[in-house]
């Protein structure tokens, strides 16, 4: 499946590549954790040459340098910007000492967008994400501001990232009832090693026709293939920041490696292929600090997992979901269907009914 086999992003008219390119690592300011301008441009050009059209960044990634690299790249190639779906985020405060410099209030959203547009050297964003939940601002204020920006032509579509399910549901319902711009996508942590999104947000997105764009689809590189029980990892900077996999995570890593070996591909490709096979529209965000990272990740488009492989991965990575999710499985069917099969879902009889058929 090439990058130019596009998918529609949620209930919208926006067509995007099956993998988005994450630009969080573009730029070396601050801390040196990212990559140089030259390497960033190589990564971006390779992605675009392969048919990719969906690039994701945020206002505070590498202290604004990520947005500037993207802006300079497109400005040097007239006409290219109009063929790329460019997304950025607001929330992060880049003005120390100013309580209104970030967050999701009306003034701060407008100011953050103007700064992003300046760095990106464009007059609009195709997708604008709320990067995190601002519990100090009414969600109605955030939504109305975003709708005003859509009507003004400054942004085209709206998405949320890292927000609680109840806030997301409240926001979508409010937008729909008031005729404001609804959400078309949710950017969430999602991978074989991070599946708790399946408790609330993923079912909500599936029900509402909202796309999921998973960040960290390889879980800090744990699913890249370089982490093995019997080998040491040389990426000391990352290891120092996030630590190493736990025994439970290694159990998943081992199965991924086994399937990758059988398919003669990489663990990263298997992990990304698993995400692509999830219900609904799922568009993983792949990042890279070196060009070979990107090309390795794109191999995930060439892998189709069998039903047996998917079942193995589902089983070994099954998450422990918070209440009330445990009430919605076999116990719910037992209580609701009383031994019948409904929509292909079988059930057993609730034990007390086996003792008597008395009805009070």
Q: Would you state the pLDDT for residue 301?
A: 95
Structure token digits, residue 70: 């993207």
Average pLDDT for 149-157: 98
Mean pLDDT confidence for 99-114: 97
pLDDT given at position 202: 98
pLDDT of residue 338: 79
Question: Which pLDDT value is given to residue 145?
Answer: 98
H-run or E-run covering 112: helix 106-120
pLDDT category at 138 given cuts 50, 70, 90 is: very high
CA–CA separation, 28 vs 237, rounded Å?
A: 14
Task: Report pLDDT for 229.
Answer: 82
Residue spans of the domains in the chain: they are 7-319, 329-360
Binned at pLDDT 50, 70 and 90, residue 356 comes out as low
Q: Is the pLDDT of residue 358 over 70?
A: no
Q: Does the pLDDT value for residue 355 go beyond 70?
A: no
Residues with active-site annotation = 61
Would the pLDDT of 66 be above 90?
yes
If one compares 240 and 245, the residue with the highest pLDDT of the two is 245
Phi, psi (rounded to 5 degrees) for 36: -70, 165
Q: Provide the pLDDT for residue 326.
A: 83
- The Cα-based distances of 352 to 2, 337, 356 in angstroms read 55, 14, 7
Q: What is the pLDDT of residue 240?
A: 55
Tens-digit pLDDT profile for residues 2-25? 899 999 999 999 999 999 999 999
Chain centre to alpha carbon of residue 309: 23
Average pLDDT over residues 172-189: 98
Is pLDDT of 32 > 70? Answer: no
Q: For residue range 199-236, what is the model confidence (pLDDT) as tens digits?
A: 999 999 999 999 999 999 999 999 999 998 877 565 54
Query: Residue 238: which pLDDT band, with cuts at 50, 70 and 90?
Result: low
Query: How far apart are the C-alpha atoms of 54 and 35, rounded to whole Å?
Result: 20
pLDDT tens digit sequence for 291-302: 999 999 999 999
pLDDT digits (tens, 9 = 90+) for 80-89: 999 999 999 9
How sure is the predictor about 56, in pLDDT bands with cuts at 50, 70 and 90?
A: very high
| Superfamily of segment(s) 7-319 | NADP-dependent oxidoreductase domain (3.20.20.100)
Mean pLDDT of the chain: 92
CA-wise closest residue to 58 among 92, 88, 95: 88
3-state secondary structure of 47: helix
**How far lies 282's CA from each of 5, 204, 211, 269, 300, in Å?**
14, 13, 6, 15, 13
Q: Does this model's pTM top 0.85?
A: yes
Bridge-partner residues for 157, per DSSP? 127
Q: Is 190 helix (H, G, I), strand (E, B) or coil?
A: coil
**pLDDT band for position 79 (cuts 50, 70, 90):** very high
SS3 21: strand
| Average pLDDT score over residue span 134-146 | 98
263, 294 Cβ separation under 8 angstroms: no
* pLDDT tens profile 319-344: 999 888 888 776 676 677 778 888 88
The single residue listed with the structure tokens 């130019």 is 4
Q: Give CA separation, 271 vs 21, 153, 173, 193, 289, in Å.
A: 16, 37, 33, 10, 19
* pLDDT band for position 360 (cuts 50, 70, 90): low
- Using the predicted structure, report yes or no on whether residue 105 has a pLDDT greater than 70: yes
Q: Determine what percent of the chain is predicted with pLDDT higher than 90.
A: 82
Q: For position 288, what pLDDT does the model report?
A: 92
């Amino acid at each position: 499946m090439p990058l130019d086999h596009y998918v529609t992003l949620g209930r919208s008219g926006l067509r995007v590549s099956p993998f988005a390119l994450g630009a969080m690592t573009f730029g070396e300011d601050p801390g040196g954790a990212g990559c140089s301008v030259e390497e960033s441009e190589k990564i971006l050009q390779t992605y675009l040459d392969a048919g990719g059209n969906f690039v994701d960044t945020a206002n505070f990634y590498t202290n604004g340098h990520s947005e500037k690299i993207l802006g300079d790249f497109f400005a040097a190639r007239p006409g290219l910007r109009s063929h790329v779906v460019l997304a950025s985020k607001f929330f992060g405060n880049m003005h120390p000492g100013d309580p209104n410099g970030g967050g999701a209030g009306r003034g701060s959203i407008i100011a953050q967008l103007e700064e992003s547009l300046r760095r990106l050297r464009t007059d609009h964003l195709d997708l604008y994400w709320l990067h995190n939940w601002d519990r100090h601002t009414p969600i109605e204020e955030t939504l109305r501001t975003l709708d005003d920006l859509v009507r003004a032509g400054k942004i085209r579509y709206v998405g949320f990232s890292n927000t609680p399910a109840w806030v997301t549901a409240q926001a979508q319902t409010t937008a729909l009832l008031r005729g404001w711009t609804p959400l078309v996508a949710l950017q969430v942590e999602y991978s074989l090693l991070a599946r708790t999104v399946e408790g609330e947000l993923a079912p909500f997105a599936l029900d509402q026709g909202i796309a999921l764009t998973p960040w960290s689809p390889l879980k800090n590189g744990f699913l890249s293939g370089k982490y093995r029980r019997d080998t040491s990892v040389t990426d000391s900077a990352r290891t120092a920041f996030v630590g190493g996999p736990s025994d439970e995570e290694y159990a998943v890593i081992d199965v991924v490696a086994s399937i990758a070996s059988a398919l003669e591909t990489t663990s990263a490709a298997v992990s990304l292929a698993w995400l692509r096979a999830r219900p609904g529209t799922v568009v993983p965000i792949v990042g890279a600090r070196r060009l070979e990272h990107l090309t390795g990740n794109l191999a995930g488009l060439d892998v189709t997992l069998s039903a047996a492989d998917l079942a193995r991965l589902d089983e070994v990575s099954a998450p422990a979901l918070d209440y009330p999710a445990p009430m919605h499985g076999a116990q719910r069917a037992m209580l609701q269907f009383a031994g019948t099969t409904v929509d292909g879902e079988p059930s057993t009889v609730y034990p007390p009914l086996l003792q008597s058929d008395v009805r009070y």
